């Protein structure tokens, strides 16, 4: 069947219209292309032949494209990717009811700048495969990567050798790497217990490759990690303030992407003196907190205990005060939020949950919402609209190159109450 691709869907698939008006999503197709497809059911199809390719179709830069579970749209030019992600965010906001045109700023990162990665590994014969899963498949050994920082990618070959020698690795496990200012920080999960020989090998590896800390926990568990080897102090700076992140701490994927989000949040604050404190929700280890503190006093709330402890320890001598609240079970109340000069929130993928209702009840004049999920943003933006908030500005952040992930910073305001005579 031959179809013409009109647009891109939310998952990056080409969107075509069948003669009866039904939508057909074609994996691997781009807008403007004429393609022959093989329907796979449920309104989906795959490309068989590209009759007229788009000018935005490019050759994938990685030989593992199509196998590795990471970069899913490397056939799409980066300028088209940014336009598509911007449209995805704007469509979500339009679906929420924010139909008036607003100023939009878009930012895109560069290849080979990603500083954190979650990998999986498995024994395959006499070797270790270390990389990402195929979709619903085995581990694809990451022999090349065009998104990771070169220093991070350079760790993978010696890591394979070390993991192969570990008695704690029976069949496989997971590995998270954060490239902190102090150096690589590793969180290892294995399917076997960690014994004295494992600790000795990890300590040797950490010393040889200048890794300040290697932490460990059983594979599949959410236990608090234990330190398996440490050769130096672990630290990371946010706006000149030194913190001590816990194992597996959340970092923005790239330094430049973190700077772009931080600047978009600061630009959304009032240009004049802020009347009242800034209340920051889901503060993490302080990614935004210390930058916000340059503009006003910050009341920073975080639910994860390890992240809160990191933030609390770094607050001395700053205008940041840290609080430990599970914001889904113990949200900051509207009576507190009502006094804020601005509310800044960077919620998890599922959105703001119970905390959003307290924001609506408190009716602060300015809400700055950092989103990593357009679907959750649509739901929360609709609730803010119904409560009288207006969308003033949107910044779209693309730091997950060649993927369907997109982040945004949205400024919502509401008019101040009329003055009493």
Torsion angle, alpha carbons of 257, 414, 295, 279, to 10: -80
C-beta separation of 296 from 278 below 8 A: yes
Residue 301 annotated as binding?
A: no
Residue the block writes with tokens 């647009």 = 7
Residue 389 annotated as binding?
A: no
Residue 277 annotated as binding?
A: no
Torsion angle, alpha carbons of 359, 362, 366, 367, to 10: 0
Positions annotated as catalytic residues are 372
C-beta separation of 252 from 399 below 8 A: yes
What is the SS3 assignment for 22? coil
The terminus-to-terminus CA distance of the chain in angstroms comes to 71
Residue 75 annotated as binding?
A: no
What is the SS3 assignment for 165? helix
The pair of structure tokens assigned to 211 is 């890794």
SS3 helix, strand, coil % of the chain, rounded to 5?
Answer: 25, 30, 45
Question: What are the Cα distances from residue 332, in Å, to 268, 279, 328, 360?
Answer: 22, 9, 9, 12
Q: Of 267, 298, 294, which Cα lies nearest the Cα of 284?
A: 298
Binding residues for S-adenosyl-L-methionine: 252, 282, 302, 346
Give the annotated binding-site residues.
252, 282, 302, 346
């Amino acid at each position: 069947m031959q179809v013409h691709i009109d647009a891109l869907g939310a998952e990056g698939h080409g969107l075509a219209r069948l003669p009866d008006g039904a939508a057909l999503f074609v994996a691997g197709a781009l807008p403007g292309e004429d393609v022959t497809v093989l329907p796979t059911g449920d309104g989906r199809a795959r490309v068989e032949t590209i009759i007229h390719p788009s000018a935005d179709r490019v050759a994938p830069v990685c030989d593992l494209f199509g196998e590795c579970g990471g970069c899913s749209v490397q056939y799409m030019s980066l300028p088209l990717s940014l336009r598509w992600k911007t449209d995805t965010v704007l469509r979500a906001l339009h679906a929420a009811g924010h139909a008036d045109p607003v100023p939009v700023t878009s930012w895109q990162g560069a290849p080979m700048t990603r500083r954190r990665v979650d990998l999986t590994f498995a024994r395959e014969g006499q070797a270790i495969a270390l990389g990402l899963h195929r979709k619903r498949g085995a581990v694809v050994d990451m022999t090349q990567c065009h998104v990771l920082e070169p220093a991070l990618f350079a760790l993978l070959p010696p890591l394979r050798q070390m993991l192969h020698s570990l008695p704690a690795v029976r069949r496989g496990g997971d590995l998270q790497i954060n490239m902190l200012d102090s150096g690589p920080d590793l969180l290892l999960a294995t399917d076997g217990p960690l014994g004295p020989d494992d600790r000795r090998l990890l300590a040797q590896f950490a010393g040889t490759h200048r890794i300040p800390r290697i932490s460990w926990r059983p594979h599949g568990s959410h236990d608090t990690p234990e330190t398996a080897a440490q050769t130096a102090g672990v630290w990371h700076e946010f706006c000149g303030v030194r913190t001590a992140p816990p194992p597996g701490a959340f970092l923005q994927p790239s330094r430049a992407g973190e700077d772009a989000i931080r600047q978009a949040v600061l630009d959304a604050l009032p240009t004049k003196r802020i009347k009242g404190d800034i209340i920051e929700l889901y503060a993490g280890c302080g990614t935004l907190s210390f930058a916000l503190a340059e503009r006003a006093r910050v009341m920073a709330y975080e639910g994860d205990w390890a992240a809160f402890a990191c933030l609390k320890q770094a607050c001395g001598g700053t205008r940041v005060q840290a609080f430990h609240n599970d914001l889904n079970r113990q949200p900051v109340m509207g009576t507190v939020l009502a006094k804020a000069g601005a509310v800044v929130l960077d919620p998890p993928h599922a959105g703001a949950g119970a905390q959003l209702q307290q924001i609506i009840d408190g009716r602060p004049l300015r809400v700055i919402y950092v989103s990593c999920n357009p679907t959750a943003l649509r739901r929360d933006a609709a609730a803010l609209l119904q409560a009288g908030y207006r969308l003033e500005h949107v910044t779209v952040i693309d730091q997950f190159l060649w993927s369907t992930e997109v982040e945004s910073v949205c400024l919502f305001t509401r008019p101040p109450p009329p003055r009493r005579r």
